[in-house]
């Protein structure tokens, strides 16, 4: 049984930050401009940035007493979140991403749902946006069920009980009871935390009322690195927990089929694999290529043909990077795999 919350409980926002000089100011301003009647504070957990992020954070803290800073020299997101939570003071914890912007009314709406439903965690929708051509293509893929799958936080249309939440507005007492974020993880920490919250008998709610703008990776290499690391850690968790949700299987299956096709192609090139029968090994990967091309060109949108072709590149990068990473994590664990897409 959770303890009762006051009508407008004080709120602590926690934000892990690494190499976010470009976006940090807007992310912080979106937090500090929330129209909410309760007391608020923002704790930034600063990793070892190399792009001037610390100077931006120092200026933000100097300009508003609600902003406080803690250091996270190891850079890992779960460690930074736990450090920020430990330094915070209030009964409601709002996780914020430095690469995202909370919309007006976000906090008030989330607290209302905590009151009404008795939930331990409330999350909303990730609405990806982009500036340049490549980032806009990545955003289109994020916002499509063909990119990151059909999770409610990408496409949900009604308030429902969920198995996880994007970012998350938490009851502090629940976070403390389940032990906070798992610091052995470098990715998928929110999914793993949600698993423990639900196992402890608590409710997680998704609502489409909360729509958070997210700015995805803006280059092909950064996207590839991010998706590979995310896949590795998701595979690692599946390996550790001993179950494999079916929705995780299509990307690794595609990665295996493409790898088989490439291997057979090399054997054919060197004359080792001869005969028409070997050509059958290429059918599944060619089918995937046709399918992802059709989706990228006809379903994701874009201003012109170049945009639509870029959709295909982005989708294939996401699927194959995540899928190959998942296989690695599932078979051997994550070991020291790090998402280097934001490292300087």
> CB of 48 within 8 A of CB of 73?
yes
Nearest to 113 by CA among 205, 213, 30, 242: 205
Query: How does pLDDT run along the chain (344 residues), one tens digit per residue?
Result: 788 899 999 999 999 999 999 889 999 999 999 999 999 999 999 999 999 999 999 999 999 999 999 999 999 999 999 999 999 999 999 999 988 889 999 999 999 999 999 999 999 999 999 999 999 999 999 999 898 775 656 666 789 999 888 999 999 999 999 999 999 888 889 989 999 999 999 999 999 989 998 989 999 999 999 999 999 999 998 898 877 778 888 999 999 999 999 999 999 998 888 888 899 999 999 999 999 999 999 999 999 999 999 999 999 999 999 999 999 999 999 877 877 766 65
Contact of 71 with 94, CB cutoff 8 Å: no
Query: Which residues share a beta bridge with 71?
Result: 46
Q: Classify the C-alpha dihedral 213-218-223-225 as positive or negative.
A: negative
Whole-number pLDDT of residue 344: 52
| pLDDT confidence of residue 227 | 95
**pLDDT at residue 2, rounded to an integer:** 87
């Amino acid at each position: 049984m959770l303890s009762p919350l006051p009508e407008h409980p004080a709120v602590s926002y926690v934000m892990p930050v690494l190499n976010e000089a470009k976006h940090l100011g807007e992310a912080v301003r979106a937090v500090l401009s929330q129209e909410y009647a309760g007391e608020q504070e923002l704790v930034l957990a600063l990793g070892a940035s190399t792009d001037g992020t610390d100077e931006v954070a120092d200026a933000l803290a100097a300009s508003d007493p609600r902003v406080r800073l803690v250091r996270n020299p190891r850079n890992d997101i779960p460690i930074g979140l736990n450090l920020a939570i430990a330094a915070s003071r209030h009964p409601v914890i709002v996780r914020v991403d430095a690469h995202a912007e909370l919309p007006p009314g976000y906090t008030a709406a989330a607290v209302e749902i905590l009151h009404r439903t008795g939930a331990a965690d409330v999350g909303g929708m990730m609405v990806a946006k982009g500036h340049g051509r490549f980032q806009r293509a990545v955003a289109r893929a994020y916002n499509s069920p063909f990119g990151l799958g059909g999770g409610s936080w990408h496409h949900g249309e009604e308030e429902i009980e969920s198995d996880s939440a994007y970012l998350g507005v938490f009851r502090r007492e629940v976070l403390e009871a389940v032990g906070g974020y798992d610091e052995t993880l470098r990715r998928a920490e929110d999914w793993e935390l949600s698993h423990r919250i639900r196992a402890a008998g608590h409710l997680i709610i998704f609502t489409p009322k909360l729509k958070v703008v997210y700015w995805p990776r803006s280059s092909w290499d950064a996207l590839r690195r991010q998706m590979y690391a995310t896949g590795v850690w998701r595979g690692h968790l599946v390996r550790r927990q001993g179950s494999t949700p079916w929705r995780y299987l299509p990307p690794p299956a595609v990665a295996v089929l493409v790898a088989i096709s490439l291997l057979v192609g090399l054997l054919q090139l060197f004359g080792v694999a001869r005969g028409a029968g070997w050509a059958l090994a290429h059918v599944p990967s060619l089918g995937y290529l046709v399918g992802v091309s059709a989706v990228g060109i006809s379903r994701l949108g874009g201003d012109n043909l170049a945009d639509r072709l870029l959709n295909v590149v982005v989708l294939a990068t996401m699927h194959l990077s995540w899928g190959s990473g998942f296989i690695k994590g599932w078979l051997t664990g994550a070991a020291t795999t790090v998402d280097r897409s934001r490292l300087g």
